[in-house]
Amino acid sequence: MQYKILLSTLALLASCTVGQDTSLATVKNAFNTANIPTDAQINFNPSVLLEVAFPQAAGRPVQVHAGIQLPRNATAIPPTFSVRDRAFLPRQEFVVAMVDLDAPTPQTPTSAQIRHFLGGNFHTVPSLGDQERLVNETQAISNFLQPTPPAGSDPHRYVFLLFEQPNGFNQQTLVTGNTSIANFNISSFASEVGLGNPIGGSFILVGPDPTTA
């Protein structure tokens, strides 16, 4: 009995400190439960765990697991990305996107999707254990924009998607730094530039600042 309690306490502690997803099935279920594949019109059958972390001005980064709700002020610094559980070719490159499906509100998402980040030329660099960091050495197409759901809104779903980068991606002109970030469609963008289906993903929920809610 006490042994069991100890074990579950240890498991709880581990999940608190690590905080990331450890199974693709969990991530896929979380996406389905939040209705993300339907709302974003994507096929989501991940083959790699995408780990997202938000660095903090003080203290350790906040580790994301799919569906975690974060206070807005924990999302100010651009997130870092890593992958786990899959071997990639050394020169393989990736595209990472972050979109808000719920702007201005989940009930009336008339300006969704908002493009909060879009960057290519990410490649993997070995990190701890079987984790590999995703590192980019070129400017993002759309720089990271902190979640800012309007006062009174329910929390928004901010979705991160990882794609294998097709040849010629750097020559695409469909979306540039000058393209409106509103009314973006990751599904049609992916299909038009040949990204295929996402190979990994995660998402966070962020509500308005308590002071403005």
Token pair of 176, please?
């540039």
Calpha distance 30→43 (Å, rounded): 14
Strand 156-164 versus strand 114-126 pairing type: unpaired
- Contact string 20-59 vs ligand NAG (x = CB under 6 A): ---------------------x--------------x---
User: Residue 87 burial by CB count (10 A; 0-12/13-18/19+): exposed, middle or buried?
Assistant: exposed
Q: Does 70 bind ligand NAG (CB under 6 A)?
A: no
- Nearer CB in complex with ligand NAG: 10/132: 132
| Widest distance between CA atoms in the chain | 62
Give the contact letters, 90-129, x = binds to ligand NAG (CB under 6 A), - = no.
-----------------------------x----------
Among the listed residues 9, 92, 108, 139, the single contact to ligand NAG using CB under 6 A: 139
The percent helix, strand, coil of the chain (3-state, each to 5) is 20, 25, 50
What residue ranges bind ligand NAG (CB under 6 A)? Answer: 41, 56, 71, 73-74, 78, 119, 136-140, 143-144, 176-178, 185, 187-188, 191
